[in-house]
Amino acid sequence: MRLRMVVAFALVLLMLSGGRLFFVQSLNAKAVAAEAVDNRTRVQETQAKRGQIVDSKGKILATSVDRYDLVIDQRKVDADKPIVRRKLSGGTTRESVTVEQAVGELAEILHQDVDTVRTAIIGDEGAKKNAYSVVAKSVTPEVRNAVNELRIPTLSGQLRSERQYPNGVVAGPLLGFVMNTEDQQSHQGAEGLEMSQNERLTGTAGKRTYEIGADGVRIPVAEMTEVPAVDGQDIKLTIDGDINFIAQEEALKKQNQFGAEWVSVIVQEVKTGRLIAIGDSNQLDPNDPSATEGTFRRSASITQAFEPGSTGKVATFAAALDQGVIKPTDEFRVPNAYTINKETINDSLKHTTYDMTAAGIFARSYNTGTVMVGNKMSNETRHKYLQKFGLGQAIDIGLSGASKGILAKPQDWERRQQYMTMFGQAYTQTALHTSQIAQTIGNGGVRIDPTLIDSYTNPDGSIEKNAAPKTERVLSEKASKEMLRMMETVVLNGTGTKMAVSGYRVGGKTGTGQAAGPTGKYDGHTNSFSGVAPLDDPQIAVTVTMYRPKGNWRSWSVGDTFSEVMSKTLNAYNVPPSNSKPNGYDVFIGSEQKKPW
């Protein structure tokens, strides 16, 4: 009886199994096959190649290269089973080697210790085998290919992208740097152009769909579909890498000389507004951004605002000329101290009262005379010119963090503040603002927004030019010419005699402004010079700014920095020497032009 029950039960199970098999193979075959395919199907995202950043001459400043992480499944490595492969010496002859021998060969290729490599490949004795063991990171394609020849089971190279900056610190704060995405498979911009232009540089990822077998390896004969990735755009800058390197080196040299917090050197094309160089003394190597203090991972030339001091007198005198309230040769009696509206204005050095021209006041940079000139205009008029020169507005060159500085409304100027703004105090601007003013004067009074990005190159090779910069007439051409001649007087017979450049007529303005500390109290200075050359046909503007130098202010000078950078830029761009004689204005009334400071 018991046997019959067992047989009956077995027959029932057999019938159920047969029914299930009939259902699977006949009635539901398509669904089961589809499910099997789904289980075998894998979708792999393929990364787009990040675009390059190149300078104006095509020199690569930032690029992405293919690198491989070598990984292995230790569970599938049998230390006792020999590896059969082609001989490494070449040919078709096959050989059998031990895993230990292959480990030794791998260690030699990777320049690693044999024990370290053995542990990564086989695992520690008695320990649980790791399904994903990293043997080496970021190896070159050549190393990956050499490793593949060893035929170590499941040892493979996982493709990853590595961002490199072959010129190191050149334009580092402009380029910025990248960080890994959350999945660690690609990069995203973390600072500088890498961040602000991330969408253009990144491109669009593709995908690859394929089937795998039970061993996890792709089935070669199975169908594979692929949507190709679209690489990111390359970005061409207006920056000349060679000139930028010179600007950075000269800025660093000046910082070291006077122990300044930072020094900026900006080189700009006068007729186009294109930025040739933005050199920061606090240099950033994008290959190792952690080595640079956070503040200076961005360019101080655009992020750090300061009271310009006497370079701010350019706006005052330019406005007065444009308004027609003065001529360069107008006469003024200029004392060492000048009281107006119960406020006393002093010059930096005591001097006797001089009968001077307006051009002479500008050349010797006297605050007293500058207030006499500025007071011929309303506060509203002067404020309007400051705005037209671009002050109080952030300059957008495609970088984040640009400072707009501080420019209060004229109705908010306090009694003394209204006079201080005439000689570059009580408002702030960046070094790039200073350069923009020099460009405007040199370009016949027309301001052109500075540009850093020239164009974008698409993956198919087509070029997308950057939008044309905005332009605005700030001064009449007549006022600009008079202003340039007054700036030449600064270099010939004023505070800027150290800024001369052999063979070229140069015009510019020196500046020493007081710098306010965290409490608002003045506890430091900014020293600068901004000029253009050659004055017969202005082509290049160079602005040097030194923030908080140490020592006695009378010893500070950025003259050699300006002259060196201007000279090398003019030569590099084949700008012909001046073919006209210097043409400055008289500084003093009368024939005697050499008087004590």
Residue 28's pLDDT is 59
What is the pLDDT, as a whole number, of residue 322? 98
CA dist 256 and 270 (Å) reads 30
| Euclidean distance between CA atoms 278 and 430, whole angstroms | 12
User: Taking a C-beta distance cutoff of 8 angstroms, is the pair 156, 72 a contact?
Assistant: yes
- Flag the least confident range among 9-18, 424-433, 580-589: 9-18
Q: If DSSP codes are grouped into helix, strand and coil, which group holds residue 284?
A: coil
Q: Which amino acid is at 465?
A: K
**36-93 pLDDT, tens per residue?**
556 667 676 777 889 999 999 999 999 998 888 899 999 988 888 888 887 887 777 8
Confidence at 13, pLDDT banded by 50, 70, 90: low
Tens of pLDDT along 98-148? 999 999 999 999 999 999 999 999 998 888 989 899 999 989 989 999 998
Q: Per the omega criterion (within 30 degrees of 0), is the bond before 534 cis? A: yes
What DSSP letter does each residue of 439-458 carry, written as one string?
Answer: HHHHTTTEEE--B-EEEEE-
Closest CA to 526 of 517, 513, 544: 513
Taking residue 585's Cβ as centre, other Cβ atoms within 10 Å add up to: 20
**Residue 185: pLDDT above 70?**
no
| The model's pTM | 0.85
- Check: CB of residue 444 under 8 Å from CB of residue 477: yes
Supply the pLDDT for residue 153.
83
* Percent of the chain's residues with pLDDT above 70: 90
Per the model's pLDDT, the better-predicted residue between 67 and 27 turns out to be 67
Given a cut of 90, is residue 213 above it in pLDDT? Answer: no
pLDDT in tens, 260-319: 999 999 999 999 999 999 999 999 999 999 999 999 999 999 999 999 999 999 999 999
Which structural domains are found in the chain, ordered by start? 70-75+89-163 (1.10.150), 241-281+300-553+566-572 (3.40.710.10)
Backbone angles phi, psi at 310, to 5 degrees: -70, -15
Contact (CB, 8 A) for 582 and 509 = no
Quote the DSSP letter at residue 595.
-
pLDDT category of residue 210 using cuts at 50, 70 and 90? low
The arithmetic mean of pLDDT across residues 156-171, rounded, is: 90
Return mean pLDDT, the chain. 91
Cα 303 from Cα 204, distance rounded (Å): 32
**Confidence at residue 205, expressed as pLDDT on a 0 to 100 scale:** 81
- Give me the residues paired with residue 277 across strands: 267
Of the segments 11-15, 318-322, 347-351, which one has the largest average pLDDT value? Answer: 318-322
What is the model's pLDDT at position 40? Answer: 66
Length of the chain equals 597
Q: Is the per-residue pLDDT at 159 higher than 90?
A: no
Half-sphere exposure of 7 (CA within 13 A, CB side): 4
